[in-house]
């Protein structure tokens, strides 16, 4: 069976669709709408992981989620997205990229509409999980179609740069957009906004995006299901522990199920003829370190977004709009940095860039994690937020390149999918772990209520204490990621050799 990478490098005999003749050179170039369709798709998928975060306090009030179960509004999306991402890439290989992309975007659009109409919490969580499934189907084909459409070295580099900017900055943009929609209309519009965009993409894509050949192959359905259910059970165990304790029967049963399912997944991948996750990808210390470091980095960052939003709205009484715009400095710095990093990447090793970025992010997280009910936005939140954007803007590009370094061409598609899978699963797992920290700290704070403190103020003090504890966990996550990179990334301690021209 041809690999994903061979599809990306194969001559474009059937790919004149969506290309415009250049009268000066005699060659055809991709229509601007090709880039617009692909970037809009990627931005919509990435935004949906965060656009709902600014609306979480409103969703909490609407459906009565507990402080810990509220995390499932986020995790239902990221778990199915990350867990099925590699399976989605294989489906695109077998059935054709554009065909699978269209199916994924259509399902994503329908799930967004149904989620916006949700009459209760169970309905909302179900549609969020379907959105994640749809994103897992569409996202791998989006990147493959980008690589296929932009084949010249200069146009491909520009396309990848724009794609990376949309991917890295989409989460923070989603916080601003989510706050805007929630405050001016309703939290439901964070989902409804996908509907007209999705319809436009479904109508335009067949005209402008190329199609790939269908290739025979087998679907590793058992591997996809066992990995997704195993990670879901693991995250549920942490969330359950946060609300019911570590000795709760459901908590213990969830962890036991997670161990069995994930062990079964590894056995399936060892024996599968065409595994969705070739285990040989972990043979490289650099790649393995990049995958695990990404899991801890994204876990700490997702938790930061989740808890910082609640601090601003529930403790500091910000509106959803004001809380969304509070993240704007971080968004601006992250976008600007992500555009500058490729320009210096040739002079500085990826390992050194990665260490620099994670170190800055760690300092920022440690600076901002000690919150109290009277912590002001400036300087204790705004300045660390900007430093965090700088650190993440520096770190994410080399973290991605390390995840695909030295990969055999036949495994390049699987390696790229694995980077994205660890990104999404890291967000879910990190949030699940730190929700447990949050829940435990909240219970302990409530047990030590200070006499004479008004109930409303005491509630804010307890919430600020619990959020501070959770963000301290984010500091630990980033510290672990930095240690992993120091131990596995090459070229950190060696003198950089000048490039030969």
- 2 belongs to a structural domain: no
**Domain for residue 14, yes or no?**
no
> Which structural domain, as residue segments, surrounds residue 322?
284-491
Same domain, 386 and 426: yes
Please state the φ and ψ torsions of residue 424, each to the nearest 5 degrees.
-70, -45
pLDDT of residue 449: 65
Using CA atoms, how far apart are residues 139 and 143, in angstroms rounded to an integer? Answer: 7
202 within domain boundaries: yes
The answer as to whether 403 is a domain residue is yes
Range with top average pLDDT, 22-26, 135-139, 484-488:
484-488
Which residue has tokens 């990190």? 430
Asked if pLDDT for residue 268 goes beyond 50, the answer is yes
pLDDT, tens digit, for every residue of 351-393? 888 999 999 999 999 999 999 999 999 999 999 999 999 999 8
- The larger pLDDT score, comparing residue 394 to residue 220, is at 394
User: Which is more confident, 124 or 443?
Assistant: 124
In tens, the pLDDT along 3-61 reads 333 333 333 334 455 555 443 444 556 678 888 898 899 889 888 878 888 888 889 88
Same domain, 179 and 81: yes
User: For residue 211, what pLDDT is reported?
Assistant: 74
Q: Is residue 21 part of a domain?
A: no
Identify whether residues 309 and 411 lie together within a single domain.
yes
The arithmetic mean of pLDDT across residues 440-468, rounded, is: 83
196 and 257 co-located in one domain: no
- Do 233 and 166 belong together in one domain? no
Residues 231 and 206 placed together within one structural domain of the fold: no
User: Per mean pLDDT, which range of 20-29, 181-190, 288-297, 426-435 is the poorest?
Assistant: 20-29
Q: For residue 13, tell me if it sits in a domain.
A: no
pTM for the predicted model, two decimal places: 0.81
Query: Are both 355 and 443 inside the same structural domain?
Result: yes
* Residue in 83, 99, 71 with CA at minimum distance from that of residue 135: 83
Q: Taking the chain, what is the end-to-end CA distance rounded to the nearest angstrom?
A: 39
- Same-domain status, 50 and 192: yes
Say whether both 171 and 71 belong to one domain: yes
DSSP state of 328: H
Question: Which among 77, 81, 56, 51 is positioned nearest to 68, based on CA atoms?
Answer: 56
Q: Quick one: pLDDT at residue 439?
A: 87
The average confidence (pLDDT) of the chain is: 84
- Indicate if 174 and 37 belong to the same structural domain: yes
Contact 231, 203 (CB under 8 A): no
Q: How many CB atoms lie within 10 A of CB 202?
A: 16
Q: Is residue 3 part of a domain?
A: no
The stretch 434-457 carries a mean pLDDT of 81
Say if residue 342 is in the same domain as residue 473: yes
Closest CA to 162 of 486, 384, 397: 397
Per residue in 280-301, pLDDT (tens digit) is 889 899 999 999 999 999 999 9
Higher pLDDT: 202 or 94? It is 202
Residue-level pLDDT at 493: 60
- Please tell me the total count of domains within the chain: 3
339 confidence band (pLDDT: 50, 70, 90): confident
> How confident is the model over 431-437, as a mean pLDDT?
90
Specify the higher pLDDT residue, 449 or 76.
76
Look at the chain and count its residues.
Answer: 501
Residue 357 belongs to a domain: yes
* Spatial distance between the Cα atoms of 463 and 443, rounded to a whole number of angstroms: 10
Structure tokens that stand for 82 in this block: 């990350």
What pLDDT does 4 receive? 37
Q: What CATH number is associated with residue 120?
A: 1.20.1250.20
Least trusted range by pLDDT, from 5-9, 174-178, 278-282, 343-347: 5-9
* Between 480 and 399, residue with greater pLDDT: 480
Q: Which of 139-143, 158-162, 167-171, 449-453 has the highest mean pLDDT?
A: 139-143
Tell me if the bond preceding 278 is cis, omega within 30° of 0: no
Distance CA 312, CA 464 (A): 10
Residues 49, 162 within the same domain = yes
């Amino acid at each position: 069976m041809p690999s994903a990478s061979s599809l990306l490098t194969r001559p474009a005999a059937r790919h004149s669709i969506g290309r415009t003749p250049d009268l000066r050179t005699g060659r055809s170039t991709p229509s601007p709408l090709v880039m617009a369709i692909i970037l809009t798709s990627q931005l919509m998928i990435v935004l949906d992981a965060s656009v709902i975060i600014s609306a979480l306090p409103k969703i909490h009030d609407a459906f009565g989620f507990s402080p810990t179960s509220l995390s499932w509004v986020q995790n239902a999306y990221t778990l199915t997205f990350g867990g099925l991402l590699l399976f989605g890439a294989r489906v695109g290989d077998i059935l054709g990229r554009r065909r699978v992309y269209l199916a994924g975007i259509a399902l994503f659009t329908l799930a967004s509409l149904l989620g916006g109409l949700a009459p209760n919490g169970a309905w909302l969580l179900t549609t969020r999980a379907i959105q994640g499934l749809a994103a897992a189907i569409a996202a791998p084909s989006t990147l493959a179609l980008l690589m296929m459409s932009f084949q010249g070295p200069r146009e491909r580099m520009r396309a990848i740069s724009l794609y990376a900017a949309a991917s890295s900055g989409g989460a923070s943009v989603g916080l601003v957009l989510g706050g805007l929609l929630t405050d001016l209309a309703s939290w439901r519009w964070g989902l409804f906004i996908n509907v007209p965009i999705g319809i436009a993409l479904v109508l335009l894509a067949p005209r402008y995006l190329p199609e790939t050949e269908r290739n025979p192959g087998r679907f590793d359905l058992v591997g996809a299901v066992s990995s997704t259910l195993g990670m879901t059970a693991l995250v549920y165990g942490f969330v359950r522990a946060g609300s019911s304790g570590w000795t709760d029967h459901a908590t213990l049963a969830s962890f036991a199920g997670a161990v069995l399912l994930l062990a079964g997944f590894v056995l399936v991948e060892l024996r599968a003829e065409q595994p969705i996750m070739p285990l040989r990808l972990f043979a490289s210390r650099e790649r393995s370190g990049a995958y695990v470091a990404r899991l801890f980095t994204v876990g700490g960052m997702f938790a930061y977004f989740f808890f910082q939003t609640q601090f601003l709205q529930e403790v500091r009484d910000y509106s959803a709009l004001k809380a969304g715009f509070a993240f704007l400095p971080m968004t601006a710095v992250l976008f600007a940095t992500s555009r500058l990093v490729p320009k210096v990447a040739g002079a500085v090793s990826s390992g050194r860039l990665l260490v620099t970025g994670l170190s800055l992010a760690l300092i920022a997280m440690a600076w901002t994690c000690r919150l109290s009910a009277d912590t002001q936005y400036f300087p204790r939140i705004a300045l660390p937020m900007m430093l965090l954007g700088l650190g993440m803007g520096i770190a994410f590009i080399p973290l991605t390149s390390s995840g695909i370094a030295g990969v055999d061409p036949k495994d390049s598609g699987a390696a790229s999918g694995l980077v994205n899978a660890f990104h999404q699963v890291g967000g879910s797992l990190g949030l699940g772990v730190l929700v447990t920290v949050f829940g435990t700290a909240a219970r302990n704070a409530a047990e030590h209520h200070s006499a004479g403190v008004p109930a409303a103020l005491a509630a804010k003090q307890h919430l600020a204490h619990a959020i501070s504890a959770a963000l301290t966990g984010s500091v630990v996550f980033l510290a672990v990621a930095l240690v992993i990179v120091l131990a596995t990334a090459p070229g950190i301690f060696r003198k950089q050799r000048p490039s030969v021209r």
